[in-house]
Amino acid sequence: MKYLKAAVKETQRLYPSAVVNSRILDEDIEIKGYNVPKGTYIMMNSYTASRDPKIFDNPDEFQPERWLQNEKKYHPFASLPFGHGTRMCVGRRLAQQEMYLLLSELIRNFRLVPTKPNVGSICGLTIHPESSVEPKLIDRRE
């Protein structure tokens, strides 16, 4: 389960469903020396932050192990697939529970074999696969 959670986290780092998160500032703030006044509409691009080589080593590589080595290695805001704060995703726990349940049951019972070499992704309002993934499911009891 530890590895599965790390794999889900790593998938969401590389492909955050909500690419951009936004806020209207309710107070003046300073970001890296820039004064940003109250009322400004600001956007945070999760996709870019998640692939920043200054934050993640080998940022484009799928490495679930990075989340198992040393949890404190990355800033807790380095990857925020469910947002943060009072308006963060209210369905986070439900979504995570469903992903862990579905994946653990699938993997326990089947071997998943890819049938397509590489499925790209499309970045719109959300990120989604450019075509269906269609893995072959082979019953582990066979």
Written as six digits, the tokens of 99 are 């992903």
Binders of ligand HEM among residues 85 to 124 (CB under 6 A) are 85, 87-91, 94-95
Smallest gap from residue 68 Cβ to ligand HEM (A): 21
> How would you classify the pairing of strands 136-139 and 110-113?
antiparallel
* Residue in the block written with tokens 């308006």: 87
110 and 136 in contact (C-beta within 8 Å)?
A: no
Binding mask 53-92 for ligand HEM (x = CB under 6 A): ----------------------------xxxxx-xxxxx-
Amino acid letter, 64: P
Asked whether position 18 contacts ligand HEM by CB under 6 A, the answer is: yes
Q: Interface with ligand HEM includes 125 (CB under 6 A)?
A: no
Select 38 or 128, whichever has its Cβ closest to ligand HEM. 128
Strands 20-24 and 127-129, by their bridges, are unpaired
